[in-house]
Amino acid sequence: MPRETRLICSLAKTWSADAVAGCILAGVRRKRFSITPGVTLTLMDRVPGIVIPLLRWYTDYLVKGLRKARRAVPSLHGELLGSAK
């Protein structure tokens, strides 16, 4: 898995099957058409025009920082190739 994917996925909390089932059952009891477990998914459902661009910006920001840090630290492989010249 790419480092960028690992970084983004590490920010998400994994829900248990029981927690998701409880959310679904609560939504059915309330006769909700859209059932979204968690605050983030609920906001993405209710105000996508605001939340989704913010999430895209944040993930782009994280990836850019990771790539910048990777460029700042020369790899051992690159150092070995440079010394062979």
**pLDDT tens for residues 28-66?**
999 999 999 999 999 999 999 999 999 999 999 999 999
| Model pLDDT, residue 76 | 60
Q: Are 5 and 12 in contact (CB under 8 A)?
A: no
Q: Is residue 77 over pLDDT 60?
A: no
Q: Is residue 81 over pLDDT 70?
A: no
Mean pLDDT of the chain: 88
End-to-end alpha-carbon separation of the chain, Å?
A: 33
48 vs 21: CA distance, rounded Å: 24
